[in-house]
Amino acid sequence: MSTPIKTPEQIEIMAQAGQILSRIMRELKSGIKPGITTQSLNKLAEELIFDSGAKPAFKGYKGFPAALCTSINEQVVHAAPCERKLIEGDILSLDLGIIYNGFCSDMAVTVPIGAISPEAGRLIRVTKKALKRAINRVKPGKTIGDVGHAIQTYVESQGFQIVKELCGHGIGQQLHESPEILNFGQRHKGLKLEAGMVLAIEPMAVMGQPGIKKGPDGSCFQTADNSLSAHFEHTIAVTNKGPRVLTE
């Protein structure tokens, strides 16, 4: 499957979508505290999306019931919002996608709920930095393997493990386009990046052993050993000047 190349005009629309998504994510983060439910965050996300003239990308996608993925602690990704209340010490991954003027944008952050353990804080920081290191490899002539290698080597050097079963993806008029962007890889291997590609890169790191299993809600994946997991994601355009983060 060929990787869609976007025109400069299409990338500008995706940049507008990314700015809307980034603003919504900031608003969601600012309201998070112990005692609120993930369903209330989903309700707020939907309101903010529609108020911005956009549509939720996840709701209804492969049967997913909500606009926002709210994965807590051992949940890696795709947990559906519910009436579970967040408690002090939890960590929460917020993963949100929108459709704006026919184009998708996708991002994720992991946030602490109140005071968290030092090691949980370190897991969050390492995963966020792994994404930053991966973004630095996003330039024409680099490869998908270079991106995955940057994530894997940094996360493992810090004593954590990456989730190998899940990956990032191309993005555009479809939420998931080619190529798949693994969170591991070999330098100089795999598809070469070209200007006009737009990628959703999303490292997922775990505190315990690698390996995941399906969660009880049927949509979420969680760590096999119930250890903590963190997740960050940005939508990035490949340009001749280097990476352009559209969701910053």
DSSP 85: B
Q: What is the CATH number of domain 8-238?
A: 3.90.230.10
pTM of the model: 0.96
The tens-digit pLDDT sequence of the chain (248 residues) is 678 899 999 999 999 999 999 999 999 999 899 999 999 999 999 999 999 999 999 999 999 999 999 999 999 999 999 999 999 999 999 999 999 999 999 999 999 999 999 999 999 999 999 999 999 999 999 999 999 999 999 999 999 999 999 999 999 999 999 999 999 999 999 999 999 999 999 999 999 998 999 998 888 999 999 999 999 999 999 999 999 999 99
Amino acid type, 152? Q
Instruction: Break the chain into its structural domains and give their ranges.
Output: 8-238
d(CA 79, CA 64): 9
Distance CA 75, CA 93 (A): 8
